[in-house]
Chains A and B, each alone.
Chain A
Amino acid sequence: MKFKIMSIMFSLCLICAFAAVFVGESDAEGENREAAEMPAFSWENIKSGEFSDGFEAYLDDKIAYRTELIELSQKIGEYKGTDVPGGEVILADVDKGTGVKQSSNLLLLDGVIMEMFESNRAAADKYAAALNTLVENLDKDVTLYSMLVPTQLEFQEEIYSNLQDSQREEIDYIYSQTEEKVTAVDEYDTLKNHYDEYIYFKTDHHWTMLGAYYGYECFCLETGAESIDINDYEKQTIDGFVGYLSAFVGAADTETLEWYDVNERGNIDWSMTAYPDDGESYNYRSVLYDKTQANYDFFLGSDHAFARFWNSELPDGKTIIIICDSYANDFAPWLMNNYKNVILIDPRAYKGNLKETINEYGADEILVLNYIFTASFEDYCDMFMTVCEGAA
């Protein structure tokens, strides 16, 4: 009895399945797509397998209640597991800052967009070699400092920070390759301790001016200089800040840029130099804070091949040269009340001679300040090496 019932039921199932593809109508119109056509019955199509694939697609398209069945199968599929942790990984072509774009992974978590670091030991070796070249080329009375700034994903919970290669390990690796004369500034733990504060932008890969201040404090601790107090400056804000990374996630939230005017007294002046590919270098004057920009270009107006800031209140002060990427743009202002001259050199665009610059301004200290990602970009490391070789 059981077998007869089962045989009848299974036969009915097969009849229904057969009927489903012959009485059904395609939902293609309702789904705004083209309906699958019955493939042409030709030897070429049969031989290439296009007929069988096309026939399967045709049946799939024609089956009765297709849309409802797909919805149902998706609902059933949801029972495979439980909720997953928040966070979405996005693949994007991100500008490395050297004029080259590379495929990178970003993590979008609670409205914060974070780049994922990928170790490149060949580039790291070049970076360390450039630091060693520079320190060898410097006179004894010029001290070389190095800061490799981690990004915010490094300080997230392990489940997120494990998506990338460890930045801590990369920083330690680079300093294990450098000579003792290179003084490493360790701002890593300080940033980690302040991670609950607004020290990184949510939609940009840079640190905020507050994050840069904590880096500045670490630097002063290393040089023995007295750091200025951030509380002596009023925190000012600009709404509607949109960072570089926001373009990769569609409609990202805007944020509020916080900044501190270190030139309240008007004691700081500046000049920039450009090195066009097809002409003579020339000087120009950008801005310290560009209040028309609600992005990272707010600081110094943008990146500059060479920029010098001098403090009229410190005629006997020291001079520091910072070889840097854009991470220095909101860091350098904090130094301007400690030094007579703060000179920024961007290896990506600088075509001057470092030795001549050191001699011309009587540099006392050199700081190499980059975010850790630059030590994974081989082209950046090559440019950095070229600048360092110019110190010979």
Chain B
Amino acid sequence: MIFSSLTFLCFFLPVVLLIYNFSKNVSYKNIVLVLASYLFYAWGEPVWVVLLFISSLADYFHGLIIERFRGRAGAKAALISSLVINLGMLAVFKYSGFIVESINSACGLALPVPEFSLPVGISFYTFQTLSYTIDLYRGKVKVQNSLLRFMTYVSMFPQLVAGPIVRYGDIAVELRSRTVTAEDFALGSRKFVCGLCKKVLLVNNAGAVVEAAFGGIHMTTLSAWLGIIFYTFQIYFDFSGYSDMAIGLGRMLGFHYKENFEHPYISRSVTEFWRRWHISLSSFFRDYVYIPLGGNRKRHILNLLIVWFLTGLWHGASWNFVLWGLYYALILIIEKKLFKGALQKIPFPFCHIYTMLIVIGGWTLFYFTDMTEMYECVRAMLGFDVNLYDLTSVSVLRSNIWLLVMCALAAQPWAKMFYNNFSKSSRVISAVVEPAVTAAAFVLSLIMLVGGTYNPFLYFRF
């Protein structure tokens, strides 16, 4: 099930919130949440519910074993076992086809290629359960003895299929004890509606522009840039919109998740961009891969290459994602070793343009799984052997010019700051405007969804 569907908005969410708030008992709430989450997950792919359940059980028992044998070899064995099972699941279901295809291609073999349909959200929930066993082994979190609470943590529908990656330690207390205040519900609903608007008003339209721009008869310089600029907005609002909805829903249910995006497109360096983009993933790789490898103390460049190779691979079982990861590794190494903070001394417009060009270049690698198409697009962007514009590209631009402006504005923090300041300017405005705007935005999103086509989130495939 996806958040931006009538099934979710008109049926699932009202019913679940109603049942969830029947009682203040946390165990009751957890049971409702687990049942609702399994229904949510099973809605589109009922078979993979089994995998989710097995993953939850495995890490719950691994947790118990780690605690039971704390300080002894058994704990380490349990941790290794947890790593093998979780990463093994990822390797089998997400990467086996890619690995065999690569071997076949490199060695000229014809080994049968496994064909698994990717279980939705596997990359997210395996990382969540991994964070639990690793943090438990390190003594950073306490063992969870309640299977219900652990299953609630793993399966929680707000962030189950597309993140953010919520660390166990961040919500351990709330799994045991939480209340939903009016403030939580109000701010959660505002955040949810904000994410919904991003998805319905910006992403769905931006996605249509990307298809139109890249689907023209001939690629022109204008259509190539339009396609990739709108994709730049599409992927940001798609993922940050989903994260907003997840964070908002979590808060409406009494959980406080950390922000996953902090306006990454205002960054003045690529290093800063990655501090603002998909924060839960970056910090996961930082804490569980980069720092254990030695961080910047030893083999710094190698560590960066490993982390970014894995980051690329995490996004998809395809070489273009690996290339995308290594592209960022290279840029970050250059920024750290050559630029050394020089970007901070350059006027903002210049380093912002530099950062956005690098980011847009990255999304070009990211978008095209076919290397030939990618090459053609880059050539078109640079103006080699193509026309500057044609009827199709000019029509696409003109018919979406205000959408482009809206996307650009919505990616800035000052629009949000202005809205926040305005809504706080007086008690009346605060009490009337903000609730009214939230309700109006929800209704508007619902209107735009009626009669629309199915629009899955881009990050579902990761």
Cβ of A310 to closest chain B Cβ, rounded Å: 46
A55 within 8 A of B: yes
A172 within 8 A of B: no
B434 and A6 contacting across the interface, CB-CB below 8 Å: yes
B454 and A17 contacting across the interface, CB-CB below 8 Å: no
A15 within 8 A of B: yes
Partner of B389, one of A18, A20, A159: A159
Partner of B217, one of A84, A89, A158: A89
A33 within 8 A of B: no
Majority SS at the chain B contact face: helix
User: B17-30, CB under 8 A of A: which get 1 and which 0?
Assistant: 10000000000000
Majority SS at the chain A contact face: helix
In the assembly, what is the distance between CA of A162 and CA of B219, in Å?
10
Partner of B10, one of A1, A20, A80, A165: A20
A70 and B450 contacting across the interface, CB-CB below 8 Å: yes
In the assembly, what is the distance between CA of A15 and CA of B193, in Å?
15
In the assembly, what is the distance between CA of A11 and CA of B13, in Å?
10
In the assembly, what is the distance between CA of A71 and CA of B397, in Å?
23
B6 and A60 contacting across the interface, CB-CB below 8 Å: yes
A18 and B15 contacting across the interface, CB-CB below 8 Å: yes
In the assembly, what is the distance between CA of A70 and CA of B447, in Å?
7
Of A44-52, A141-149, A351-359, the stretch lying at the interface with chain B is: A44-52
Q: Which residue of chain B lies nearest to A74 when distances are taken between CB atoms in the complex?
A: B451
Given known contacts A59-B11, A80-B400, A89-B217, A3 and B183 CB-to-CB distance under 8 angstroms: yes
Instruction: Give chain A interface residues in 81-128, CB to chain B under 8 Å.
Output: 81-85, 87, 89, 105, 107, 116
Partner of B186, one of A10, A13, A56: A10
Given known contacts A2-B431, A81-B403, A163 and B189 CB-to-CB distance under 8 angstroms: no
Cβ of B2 to closest chain A Cβ, rounded Å: 9
Residues of A close to B434: CB separation below 8 A: 2, 6
Residues of B close to A164: CB separation below 8 A: 217-218
Residues of A close to B373: CB separation below 8 A: none
A18 and B10 contacting across the interface, CB-CB below 8 Å: yes
B182 and A4 contacting across the interface, CB-CB below 8 Å: yes
Cβ of A67 to closest chain B Cβ, rounded Å: 9
Given known contacts A60-B6, A89-B391, A70 and B186 CB-to-CB distance under 8 angstroms: no
Partner of A76, one of B182, B436, B448: B448
Given known contacts A73-B451, A84-B394, A6 and B190 CB-to-CB distance under 8 angstroms: yes
Partner of B189, one of A6, A72, A77, A165: A6
B10 and A63 contacting across the interface, CB-CB below 8 Å: yes
Partner of B447, one of A49, A73, A83, A163: A73
In the assembly, what is the distance between CA of A298 and CA of B131, in Å?
81
| 21 residue pairs A–B, Cβ–Cβ below 8 Å | A1-B427, A2-B430, A3-B182, A6-B189, A10-B439, A14-B14, A52-B7, A53-B454, A63-B450, A66-B451, A69-B450, A69-B451, A79-B402, A80-B401, A81-B402, A84-B395, A85-B391, A158-B387, A158-B389, A163-B218, A163-B390
Question: Which 4 interchain pairs have the tightest Cβ spacing?
Answer: A162-B390, A3-B186, A162-B387, A6-B186
User: Chain B interface (Cβ within 8 Å of chain A)?
Assistant: 1, 5-7, 9-11, 13-15, 17, 42-47, 181-183, 185-187, 189-190, 193, 205, 217-218, 220, 387-392, 394-395, 397-403, 427, 430-432, 434-436, 438-439, 442-444, 446-448, 450-452, 454
